[in-house]
Amino acid sequence: MAAVVWCVLAAIVALLARGLPPRTFFVGDPGVKLIAAQNAVRHPSHPLDIDLPQIAGRPAPFVDRFFRVHGDHAHAKMPELFPLLTAPLLAWFPVRGPYVLPALGLLLALAAIAALGAALDPRRSPALLMLVAMLATPLLFYGLEFWEHAPAVAAAAAATWLLARPGRTDRDLAVAGLLFGVSILLRPEAACYAAACVIAIRLLPHPAGVRDLAIAITAAAITMAPLTFVSSLHGGTWLGDHVSANMSHITSQWLQTRAAVVRAWFGSSARESLWHAAPVAVFAVWPIGSGSPHRGRAFLATVAAVSIALVTLTTPADGGGQWGPRYLLCAFVPLAILVADALQAIANARPRAGLCVAAIALAAGAFVQRDAYKELRATKQTYERAVTFVEGQSPPGGYIVTDLFWLDEIAAVLHPTRTFLVVTNATDAQTVMRMLRDAGAGSVTLMRSRDESPLRFAEDWQIDPPFAVVHVAEIPERTLVSGAIRFAPE
């Protein structure tokens, strides 16, 4: 039965994925990851060094704020492992390849959650566990977008299953540590989940000892060491650009940030809140009583509570554009099992009424997933129109100059064929224009927004002699305005 349910869910995921525009994203972050993956395909010998844009063959350090300029190249301020894993898929399947790993991560996470629940107590229904994980958590949304969250959750869930399974071997413990290391490299907040598992490990039906923990922790450290060493040797930071950039914000207004995060995740009905994206999760704290037949609930509850607390105490922000509290996604591994336990207990206590309650809860979760999918599709369709506009207004091989930090991210699919130059102030804007003029650039397109551009066109962009805008076009999406540039001779 469980295998049939998993296959049905896999088919649903495939159908949903086919209904989404593949060239654009829900927010800009996946675009940064795509640029990094494109670079890894082009330069497999130095995949983490991202090419700077060039003007007349010379590197120009005009990139958006999610890249750090380092000499003649840049580094993405994002986890490094995900673009590296995506690069082969992007090379093999240029259009849909980037979405294979997230979808696979979702499906493996569903299987691992079911396996974990059954390992703690074989009387749990794997089919119900997969349905709850699919319908009552935000995992589906992240399995359909080009983001590393779903693979990170899959690795964390599989690692927890290997720790919890009866009769585990030293090999199981080593692989669990490896998977925890992979999960942390994909999403740093997974370290909070791994720490929660260590804290709660004595609560397992088959507790692990100090030796077991030593094997798992050693394997995790060995897994993380290569990228950590590369970051230290080349980038000058042990934690990598992503973690270092975020850690720099933690100590600033720490208490105010904690209050804002708690309000966003637990005290509102906004899109990033738990109650908006996973209202069925409330059943995780349902008082089902001491007579519950399911073992391992103390372990699951402790892991969920500790990981949520640790993330809340250390996160630099609420996660920005998203569906649900994405930094808490690993916590949905134990939460999904606890919700399934509660629904099963309710159904067992009063068969008719309880089954109705469980069915209504799952149906409510399905409607939430429907809303998430509709919003994901609508946003990607909007940005698809924006990408089509940028593509049509800038010929291949041309330069695109913009003061919109997000434009090169949402149009990341165009990076191999256009040169994006992103400026943040008037000095940089004028410098870029002079460099393009002096290089004799024949095709330059200025992309701005009537509502969002921080620079003033008449005052901040003009150089002497002034350039002329010979063609103007605009679209309502983000009020984008395009202008073809012609430079006057000196």
Residue range 112-119: mean pLDDT, rounded: 97
Q: What is the b/e burial string over 6-34, where b = at least 16 CB atoms within 10 angstroms of the residue's CB?
A: beebbeebeebbeebbbbbbbbbbbbbbb
Distant-in-sequence contacts of 226-229, Cβ < 8 A, 24+ apart? 227/80, 227/81, 227/185
- What is the pLDDT confidence band of residue 268, given thresholds at 50, 70 and 90? confident
Residue 373 has pLDDT above 70, yes or no: yes
Spatial distance between the Cα atoms of 317 and 164, rounded to a whole number of angstroms: 32
Reading the block at residue 396, the tokens are: 């291949």
Residue 288 has pLDDT above 80, yes or no: no
Residue 238 has pLDDT above 70, yes or no: no
pLDDT number for residue 293 = 66
Spatial distance between the Cα atoms of 437 and 62, rounded to a whole number of angstroms: 16
Residue 31 has pLDDT above 90, yes or no: yes
List phi, psi (to 5°) of 244. Answer: -60, -40
Residue 365 has pLDDT above 70, yes or no: yes
Omega of the bond leading into 465 within 30 degrees of 0 (cis) = yes
Torsion angle of C-alpha atoms 181, 185, 188, 190, degrees rounded to 10:
-40
Helices and strands counted in the chain (H then E):
18, 10
List phi, psi (to 5°) of 293. Answer: -80, -5
Choice between 237 and 453, residue whose per-residue pLDDT is larger? 453
What residues does 73 pair with on adjacent strands? 51, 70
pLDDT number for residue 242 = 59
- What is the pLDDT confidence band of residue 241, given thresholds at 50, 70 and 90? low
3-class DSSP state for residue 355?
helix
Torsion angle of C-alpha atoms 266, 268, 273, 277, degrees rounded to 10:
120
Residue 194 has pLDDT above 80, yes or no: yes
Q: Mean pLDDT in the chain?
A: 92
CB-based contact 73:246 (threshold 8 Å)? no
**Residue matched to tokens 């990170």:** 152
Cβ atoms within 10 Å, residue 254: 13
Spatial distance between the Cα atoms of 416 and 43, rounded to a whole number of angstroms: 13
Spatial distance between the Cα atoms of 92 and 112, rounded to a whole number of angstroms: 27
Domains of the chain: 109-349 (no CATH), 382-487 (3.40.190)
Reading the block at residue 198, the tokens are: 């260590």
Span of 4-8, 186-190, 222-226, 465-469 with lowest mean pLDDT:
465-469
pLDDT number for residue 285 = 87
Residue 234 has pLDDT above 70, yes or no: no
Span of 99-108, 311-320, 392-401 with lowest mean pLDDT:
311-320
Burial of 60 from C-beta contacts in 10 A (0-12 / 13-18 / 19+): buried
Residue 235 has pLDDT above 70, yes or no: no
Spatial distance between the Cα atoms of 113 and 153, rounded to a whole number of angstroms: 10
Residue 108 has pLDDT above 60, yes or no: yes
Spatial distance between the Cα atoms of 191 and 438, rounded to a whole number of angstroms: 50
Question: Would you give the DSSP letter of residue 53?
Answer: P
Round to the nearest angstrom and report the end-to-end CA distance of the chain.
Answer: 76
- What is the pLDDT confidence band of residue 85, given thresholds at 50, 70 and 90? very high
Residue range 303-311: mean pLDDT, rounded: 97
- What is the pLDDT confidence band of residue 243, given thresholds at 50, 70 and 90? low
Reading the block at residue 312, the tokens are: 């809340």
Amino acid residing at 236: G
